Amino acid sequence: MVDNLLRETKRILKKYGIKPRKRLSQHFLIDERLLDIIVKSLELTGKEIVLEVGAGIGTLTKAIAEKCFKVIAVEIDRRLVYILEKELASLSNVEIFLGDFLKMEMPRVDRVFSNTPFSISSPLLFKLLENPSYDFAVLSFQKEFVERLKAEPGTQDYGRLTVSFQLRAKMEVLAYMPKKAFYPMPEVDAVLIKVHPCRDLSLNIHILDDMLRFLFSRRRKKVYRVLEEYVKMRGYRVEAKNILLKIGIDEERRVYQMSPEEFKAITEAISAHL
């Protein structure tokens, strides 16, 4: 299942004289089983518009285009865009864009897919969660990154990233992606996940992220002390002790032991006093 895609990937790269760029985390999927899982997980009926971030040499682009109405393929590497334009020229439902997705306006689509470059995992994920209009996204990330996304309070992997993500979206793990499933082989394994964004997030994201950044810089300290320091620093007219008492949080709890819902409640309490 790997040999056929590996040969085809090498053939295309050799044909166009391309060497993958490590700084862009260019690792192309060569496992047909995982390719099938990705396409099936997008739940395509032929009517959807799919955004693909990091289209590479078009392996997934072609497979997705065969099942949906339209693919918007974004690629930052001009060399690979040239390959996409040549290799996918026969597909009238593929629209190719050269550019940095992090600097682009998010188009209105039904699905999102990205074999995410590890170097931009966090910025890409949170850009997708800013104002989501799509149903869900299927994304591959470094295994350690996914462990942080789904971590439980009180564990080593639990942190600011965990809370910020879990308040914005729900996720499910779809498949383990060993490093041998890519060419050239990366240094770490990956995990394929499905992300369902929260569209009705009635929360002051600025306060949430600002507070999380400060509190998790002191993750093992008592939440009362750190929160008290934070509200005074920001000049909020609210007492940390009163917030915790109202929510029902023990002052002795440590920051890293707090649940995402408790951080949400604290954010709402601060916002109510602005």
Distances (CA, A) of 271 to 38, 121, 206, 235, 267: 40, 29, 10, 12, 6
Neighbours of 32 (CB within 10 A): 17
Q: Which residues of 173-203 are buried (b: 16+ CB within 10 A; e: fewer)?
A: ebbebeeebbbeebeebbbbbbbebeeeeeb
Residues 5-31: tens digit of each pLDDT: 999 999 999 999 999 998 888 999 999
Please state, rounded to an integer, the average pLDDT across all residues of the chain: 96
Type of residue numbered 24: L
Which of 137, 98, 91, 86 lies closest to 114, judged by CA?
137
- Exposed/middle/buried for residue 103 (C-beta within 10 Å: 0-12, 13-18, 19+): exposed
Which of 186, 198, 29, 10 lies closest to 114, judged by CA?
29
Helices 223-234 and 205-215: angle between axes, nearest 10 degrees: 130
Q: What is the pLDDT of residue 87?
A: 97
Q: What is the pLDDT of residue 2?
A: 62
DSSP assigned state of 158: -
Q: What is the pLDDT of residue 79?
A: 97
In the chain, the domains with their CATH numbers are: 3-197 (3.40.50.150), 205-271 (1.10.8.100)
Would you say 57 and 5 are in contact if contact means Cβ atoms under 8 Å apart? no
* pTM higher than the cut 0.75: yes
Q: What is the pLDDT of residue 76?
A: 96
For residue 85, the surrounding DSSP H or E stretch is helix 78-87
Low-confidence spans in the chain with pLDDT less than 70: 1-2
Bridge partners for 171 per DSSP: 195
Residues 105-140: tens digit of each pLDDT: 999 999 999 999 998 999 999 999 998 999 999 999
Would you say 141 and 124 are in contact if contact means Cβ atoms under 8 Å apart? no
d(CA 125, CA 184): 24
Q: What is the pLDDT of residue 235?
A: 95
Q: What is the pLDDT of residue 234?
A: 96
Q: What is the pLDDT of residue 202?
A: 84
